[in-house]
Amino acid sequence: MSDAPEKTSFVEDLTDQSDDFSRWYNEVIRKAQLADNSPVKGCMVIRPYGYGIWENIQRLLDKRIKATGHQNAYFPLLIPESLLQLEADHVEGFAPECAWVTQGGKEPLEERYAIRPTSEAIIGHMYSKWIESYRDLPLLLNQWANVMRWEKRTRPFLRTSEFLWQEGHTAHASEQECREEVMRMLEVYREFVETELAIPVHAGKKSDAERFAGAEDTFTIEALMRDGKALQAGTSHHLGQHFAKVFDITYQDETGKRQHVWQTSWGVSTRLIGALVMTHGDDAGLRLPPNVAPIQAVIVPIYRKPEDKAAVLGFLEQIKAALGEKVRFHIDDRDQYSPGWKYNEYEMRGVPVRLEVGPKDVANSAVMSVRRDTRAKESIPLAQLPERLPALLAEIQKALFDQASAFRDEKTVMVQDLAGVLAHFEGGGSGFVAVPWDGSVAFEAEVKAKAGATLRCMPLDTSRFASLEKPGHRVALFARSY
Amino acid sequence: MSDAPEKTSFVEDLTDQSDDFSRWYNEVIRKAQLADNSPVKGCMVIRPYGYGIWENIQRLLDKRIKATGHQNAYFPLLIPESLLQLEADHVEGFAPECAWVTQGGKEPLEERYAIRPTSEAIIGHMYSKWIESYRDLPLLLNQWANVMRWEKRTRPFLRTSEFLWQEGHTAHASEQECREEVMRMLEVYREFVETELAIPVHAGKKSDAERFAGAEDTFTIEALMRDGKALQAGTSHHLGQHFAKVFDITYQDETGKRQHVWQTSWGVSTRLIGALVMTHGDDAGLRLPPNVAPIQAVIVPIYRKPEDKAAVLGFLEQIKAALGEKVRFHIDDRDQYSPGWKYNEYEMRGVPVRLEVGPKDVANSAVMSVRRDTRAKESIPLAQLPERLPALLAEIQKALFDQASAFRDEKTVMVQDLAGVLAHFEGGGSGFVAVPWDGSVAFEAEVKAKAGATLRCMPLDTSRFASLEKPGHRVALFARSY
């Protein structure tokens, strides 16, 4: 906690979510010290507390990426314009939002370089060098990197010109294997986001209008924020042979014949931190799921008299020894802030559990725990703390997921047709609207034009939408979104 | 090991170090699949095997950076030209090698942005916003990031336009605390590089001519490569109040007075991978220290008859179960390559231990281990493998360090004066030359002009150079360098 504390009392000033959700969001990001504005247009600084969340996300997701057979690598930040232009849809989608490097040292460059908005082009070029035989397949790589998309309107974590992400890029011998990989990584994302971030999602397929520039199919996980807007939390793309054909990525199959590979790409980004804030936060600030919270429990000593101070601080040493590395805890023994001030600060920062330790607790050889999510109190004897605290954290993790799921389900309504979709949004409705959809582009366009909502996905699991099943139609979820 | 294997037999073709060290280096990088060239001028692709080394470096160093009280954060990639220009020495040192972004999306930018060559300027700007009181100090941040310096002549890992690194940036209330931090991080680097990379270094101070652009003092760790050239492996800078004054980073002290902070910065980069290659490699390829080797032991099954195959593969399952997660091992059961081919491949890739498992080994319930560094063989009973293999790896780690230390010491000579330095290099000598130095700039310039060698550092530990102690002089180490 060497990061500088906020300079003045601040909790009272937090805007209520119901008054102005967008303002609430910006204030929480700043007051909880997740991020700050920078002098670079559209780019933020991720402060240690926000970056601590990202480190936990990286650690927990990287484990899953490796467990499914992928390895990490690192490709150049810059992409020659000529490479970016090879795939027509890709360049059309990304070139308009690229930052361009035109000068290297003192000399103007012969060819412009784009700062990578995504790395299909540079990786496609390398894959064409590396892949020769069916024995070289599948090639399963991932990279953790910064990318840049020059955005006009930005918001911390949700849409910034530069952001951090991971991008997986794989090449396969057959379309079937390729499609299996697309679904495997979509499922990795769904399970990761639901388990570790406690964010329930709909996993599904994008419509043609919404898919990735250069992909054949895009699959997505879609979450619902507290203001009723959807947020795309991760995508997995079936690239078909689009890049293989323009980058000439071929292999010799077992019969000696040259074939183009089939490719996927998939990614999640620091946007997930914005999703965490808007899924779990409340009017007192953040509520972080324990699995990714940089601090899972904050310990606040309480004393007035000098002899109490010695006893309390002595007891803290016992707590430290008892907890060891079982939880990520932080002891806040700063003298210049009152316990009450600290309570507010750690509520703002969303620390899942607060442990209060005063003279009475020392006398009882116990600590008073306070849950951030429900504010429920519970005295925990020191002897039980090493077992009870991890269990309590697991309960909070589950409670946050259950609460977000209930909210998401309540905000998912079913209608039978276009008129129903429009009526929902015109009547002030938000959330997801499920509707049978015949694939009509006009339907999508009308919802977008009249309600400002887009087709978020066609969910893979339609069991909850059984009443909407109609021949020649697929269930589609519409929502306004980030 | 999903990364594509090299396409043809290749070990026989490796250039000997003594024939052409530079060529040997480039071949090993490529054949061991550490990195590959990219279509971006001066930028490489770090392949999974090379990136796996970097991940181990990150993990082991990050632990030390956090244990000394630092937190990670992330600052923007781009730096507005006006910010970079505030510190005069800094801009003079770095502006000529910046890559410049001049266009964002479809519009030319009003102000150019440099892709960060290092982040003092952007971080200084943020620190001036965050630091207000002595209570906000020390501020101890680090970032893992990519940086870019537009280099004319590049070599994989050693000097590339883009590279990966960590950069620590700290602010302190007093010069003394600041100087303590500079030395603390220099010592973290020394201990890390010697312990984990098995590379012995001289830790010392740079001369004025060699210090970081914008620093008051630069400290360095200097390693010696197999060809007798020195390599700067990490630096720790005392920035004084240079940046604090131009970025107006001030705090109110305990008496209510405004004071400028004192700052440090320190970094190591993917260059360390180049140092590993050139410190430990031999004519058969890489030799990786076990602590950072992506694969610590490769297991190669050997069989001809089908019934042997079943027995050997069955035995491998027992080995897997016995080893668990005690070591990072890889089983290479590819059928298309012979055991002999695999031996060569893993020698090239520097895997510290090879475990051969054939029918005889199965019959004895043992494996035959072969050390990469000495090629010493040892039959290890399965029952002892979980204890013996980690111990063997520790022996190899130590042996590599001892061997490199002996080489470094043998290649460090002592002379009494400038004439001695020049005579050493003119006589075909390489390595470090230790000499008493009176601080004369002309001395340094003459060595550089006549011998192409620079003052690498004034070592902090001069115990081995006691015979060179002279009043008004400091011991200085000269060497040709990367």
| pLDDT given at position B99 | 97
CB contact under 8 A, A99 and B78: yes
Instruction: Spell out which residues of chain B touch residue A51, defining contact as CB-CB under 8 Å.
Output: 71-74
- Nearest CB among B46, B97, B135 relative to A74 is that of B46
Closest by CA position to B154, among listed B48, B28, B26, B273: B26
Alpha-carbon span A157 to A435, nearest angstrom: 31
| CA closest to A138 among chain B residues | B2
Instruction: Spell out which residues of chain B touch residue A113, defining contact as CB-CB under 8 Å.
Output: 40, 99
Q: Which residue has the tokens 């119901």?
A: A18
Instruction: Spell out which residues of chain A touch residue B113, defining contact as CB-CB under 8 Å.
Output: 40, 99
More confident residue, B12 or B308: B308
Alpha-carbon span A82 to B37, nearest angstrom: 17
Quote the minimal CA–CA distance from B248 to chain A in Å.
15
- Nearest CB among B105, B112, B141 relative to A48 is that of B141
CB contact under 8 A, B126 and A70: no
CB contact under 8 A, B140 and A2: yes
| CA closest to B82 among chain A residues | A39
| Residue ranges of chain B that CATH labels 3.30.930.10 | 11-280
Average pLDDT for residues B29-55, to the nearest whole number? 97
User: pLDDT tens across A260-294, in order?
Assistant: 999 999 999 999 999 999 999 999 999 999 999 99
Quote the minimal CA–CA distance from B280 to chain A in Å.
23
CB contact under 8 A, A40 and B76: yes
CB contact under 8 A, B75 and A125: no
CB contact under 8 A, B148 and A77: yes
Instruction: Spell out which residues of chain A touch residue B75, defining contact as CB-CB under 8 Å.
Output: 38, 45
Instruction: Spell out which residues of chain A touch residue B47, defining contact as CB-CB under 8 Å.
Output: 73
User: pLDDT tens across B4-14, in order?
Assistant: 444 445 566 89
Residues sharing a CB contact under 8 Å with residue A269, sequence separation 6 or more, in sequence order: A163, A164, A165, A166
The amino acid sitting at A283 is D
| CA closest to A136 among chain B residues | B4
CB contact under 8 A, A73 and B51: yes
| Residue ranges of chain A that CATH labels 3.40.50.800 | 297-392
CB contact under 8 A, B136 and A5: yes
| Residue ranges of chain A that CATH labels 3.30.110.30 | 411-479
Tokens for B133?
């009181």
| pLDDT given at position A12 | 63
B297-393 placed in CATH 3.40.50.1980 = no
Q: Using H for helix, E for strand and C for coil, what is the string for B71-105?
A: EECECCCEEEHHHHCCCHHHHHHHHHHCEEEEEEC
CATH code for the part of the protein at B11-280: 3.30.930.10
| Residue ranges of chain B that CATH labels 3.40.50.800 | 297-393
| CA B298 to chain centroid | 24
User: Rounded to 5 degrees, what angle do the CA atoms B356, B360, B363 make?
Assistant: 115
| CA closest to B62 among chain A residues | A55
Average pLDDT for residues B12-24, to the nearest whole number? 93
- The answer to whether B101 and A99 are in contact (CB under 8 A) is yes
Quote the minimal CA–CA distance from B39 to chain A in Å.
8
| CA closest to A294 among chain B residues | B71
Quote the minimal CA–CA distance from B108 to chain A in Å.
9
Instruction: Spell out which residues of chain B touch residue A41, defining contact as CB-CB under 8 Å.
Output: 104
Alpha-carbon span B223 to B456, nearest angstrom: 10
- Nearest CB among B98, B138, B146 relative to A77 is that of B146
Instruction: Spell out which residues of chain B touch residue A39, defining contact as CB-CB under 8 Å.
Output: 80, 83, 122, 125
Average model confidence (pLDDT) for chain B? Answer: 95
Quote the minimal CA–CA distance from A440 to chain B in Å.
32
| pLDDT given at position A214 | 87
Closest by CA position to B299, among listed B402, B397, B369, B242: B369
CB contact under 8 A, A113 and B40: yes
Residue numbers of chain A with a pLDDT score lower than 50? 1-8
Instruction: Count A/B contacts: CB-CB distance under 8 Å.
Output: 192
- Nearest CB among A76, A141, A146 relative to B77 is that of A146
| pLDDT given at position A22 | 97
- Nearest CB among B41, B73, B78 relative to A47 is that of B73
Instruction: Spell out which residues of chain B touch residue A33, defining contact as CB-CB under 8 Å.
Output: none
CB contact under 8 A, B72 and A52: yes
CB contact under 8 A, B76 and A106: no
Taking every pair of Cα atoms in chain A, the longest distance, rounded to a whole number of angstroms, is 85
Quote the minimal CA–CA distance from A199 to chain B in Å.
24
| CA closest to A164 among chain B residues | B74
- The answer to whether A358 and A21 are in contact (CB under 8 A) is no
- Nearest CB among A69, A106, A133 relative to B96 is that of A106
Q: Let me know if A55 is exposed, middle or buried by CB neighbors in 10 A (0-12, 13-18, 19+).
A: middle
Instruction: Spell out which residues of chain B touch residue A102, defining contact as CB-CB under 8 Å.
Output: 100-103
Quote the minimal CA–CA distance from B107 to chain A in Å.
9
Residues sharing a CB contact under 8 Å with residue B419, sequence separation 6 or more, in sequence order: none
Residues sharing a CB contact under 8 Å with residue B142, sequence separation 6 or more, in sequence order: B65, B70, B71, B72, B73, B166, B167, B168, B169
Quote the minimal CA–CA distance from B477 to chain A in Å.
32
- Nearest CB among B55, B71, B80 relative to A72 is that of B55
Q: pLDDT-derived band of residue B3, with 50, 70 and 90 as boundaries?
A: very low
Alpha-carbon span B279 to B289, nearest angstrom: 10
CB contact under 8 A, B4 and A72: no
pLDDT > 90? residue B421: yes
More confident residue, B436 or B306: B436
Class of the domain covering A297-392: alpha beta
| CA closest to B69 among chain A residues | A2
Instruction: Spell out which residues of chain A touch residue B103, defining contact as CB-CB under 8 Å.
Output: 99-100, 102, 112
Closest by CA position to A114, among listed B223, B101, B145: B101
Instruction: Spell out which residues of chain B touch residue A152, defining contact as CB-CB under 8 Å.
Output: 105
Instruction: Spell out which residues of chain A touch residue B83, defining contact as CB-CB under 8 Å.
Output: 39
Which among B45, B49, B92, B151 is the top mutation candidate for probing chain A, defined by the most A β-carbons within 10 Å of its own β-carbon?
A: B45
| CA closest to B98 among chain A residues | A105
Instruction: Spell out which residues of chain A touch residue B40, defining contact as CB-CB under 8 Å.
Output: 76, 78-80, 113, 122
Instruction: Spell out which residues of chain A touch residue B161, defining contact as CB-CB under 8 Å.
Output: 104
Q: Using H for helix, E for strand and C for coil, what is the string for chain A?
A: CCCCCCCCCCHHHCCCCCCCHHHHHHHHHHHCCCEEECCCCCCEEECHHHHHHHHHHHHHHHHHHHHCCCEECECCCEEEHHHHCCCHHHHHHHHHHCEEEEEECCEEEEEEEEECCCCHHHHHHHHHHHCCEHHHCCEEEEEEEEEECCCCCCECCCECCEEEEEEEEEEECCHHHHHHHHHHHHHHHHHHHHHHCCCCCEEEECCHHHCCCCCCEEEEEEEECCCCCEEEEEEEEEEECHHHHHHCCEEECCCCCEEECEEEEEEEECHHHHHHHHHHCECCECCCCCCCCCCCEEEEECCCCHHHHHHHHHHHHHHHHHHCCCCCEEECCCCCCCHHHHHHHHHHCCCCEEEEECHHHHHHCEEEEEECCCCCEEEEEHHHHHHHHHHHHHHHHHHHHHHHHHHHHHCEEECCCHHHHHHHHHCCCCCEEEEEECCCHHHHHHHHHHHCCEEEEEECCCHHHHHHCCCCCEEEEEECEC
Instruction: Spell out which residues of chain A touch residue B51, defining contact as CB-CB under 8 Å.
Output: 71-74
CB contact under 8 A, A96 and B106: yes
Instruction: Spell out which residues of chain B touch residue A164, defining contact as CB-CB under 8 Å.
Output: 74
Class of the domain covering A411-479: alpha beta
- Nearest CB among A77, A135, A161 relative to B162 is that of A77
